[in-house]
């Protein structure tokens, strides 16, 4: 089940609406792979090579992009058996170099003005 979250900065009044979690469409690895760039898809295929039913967790996670200064939702796939995870690029600026995945229980810092208490509001669900 996915969630729609609205983040608002009390200081500079910037706000972002992002969709996190995952939908019904993301239950198979083949479909999930499309959310990642070509070279990452190759790495993931190598990761699961020879496994009939690899165990994975896929979610859109809240992230802060230091390049374009936005809060975004990025696809992240995790393989619990190897402990490895793979992240896609920022949907706003297309790079992954300065993406920081945010912890779910921490209140995120505003990438625009640096205020440390963005308010996070659940504004809906998707799937
Ligand atoms: Zn701000
Ligand atoms: Zn970006």
Q: Exposed, middle or buried by CB within 10 Å (0-12, 13-18, 19+), for 47?
A: middle
Residue 21 is given by DSSP the state B
In this structure, are residues 119 and 10 in contact, taking their beta carbons and an 8 Å threshold?
Answer: yes
Cβ neighbours of 118 (radius 10 Å): 24
72-111 residue pLDDT tens: 999 999 999 999 999 999 999 999 899 999 987 778 999 9
115 CA to centre of ligand 1 in angstroms: 5
48 CA to centre of ligand 2 in angstroms: 29
14-66 residue pLDDT tens: 999 999 999 887 889 999 999 999 999 999 999 999 998 899 999 999 999 99
Give the per-residue pLDDT at 1: 78
In this structure, are residues 74 and 87 in contact, taking their beta carbons and an 8 Å threshold?
Answer: yes
What distance in Å separates the CA atoms of residue 74 and residue 58, rounded to the nearest whole number? 10
Ligand (nearest to CA of 10): 1
116 CA to centre of ligand 2 in angstroms: 19
**How distant, in Å, are the alpha carbons of 16, 36, 39, 84, 95 from that of 43?**
31, 10, 7, 11, 18
Give the per-residue pLDDT at 21: 94
pTM as predicted: 0.90
Task: Look at the chain and report how many structural domains it folds into.
Answer: 1
Which residue segment(s) compose the domain that 73 sits in? 2-126
Strands of the sheet containing 2-8, edge to edge, are 15-20, 2-8, 119-126
119 CA to centre of ligand 2 in angstroms: 20
92 CA to centre of ligand 2 in angstroms: 5
As a whole number, mean pLDDT of residues 65-71 equals 97
95 CA to centre of ligand 2 in angstroms: 6
Give the per-residue pLDDT at 81: 92
Report the half-sphere exposure of 67 (CA within 13 A, side-chain side): 14
23 CA to centre of ligand 1 in angstroms: 30
């Amino acid at each position: 089940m996915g969630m729609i979250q609205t983040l608002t900065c009390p200081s500079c009044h910037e706000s972002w609406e992002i969709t996190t979690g995952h939908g019904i469409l993301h239950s198979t690895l083949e479909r999930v792979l499309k959310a990642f760039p070509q070279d990452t898809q190759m790495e993931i295929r190598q990761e699961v090579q020879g496994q009939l039913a690899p165990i994975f967790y896929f979610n859109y996670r809240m992230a802060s992009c230091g390049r374009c200064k936005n809060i975004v939702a990025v696809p992240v796939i995790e393989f619990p058996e190897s402990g490895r995870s793979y992240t896609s690029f920022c949907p706003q600026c297309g790079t992954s170099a300065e993406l920081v995945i945010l912890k779910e229980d921490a209140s995120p810092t505003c990438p625009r003005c640096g205020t440390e208490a963005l308010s996070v509001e659940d504004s809906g669900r998707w799937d």
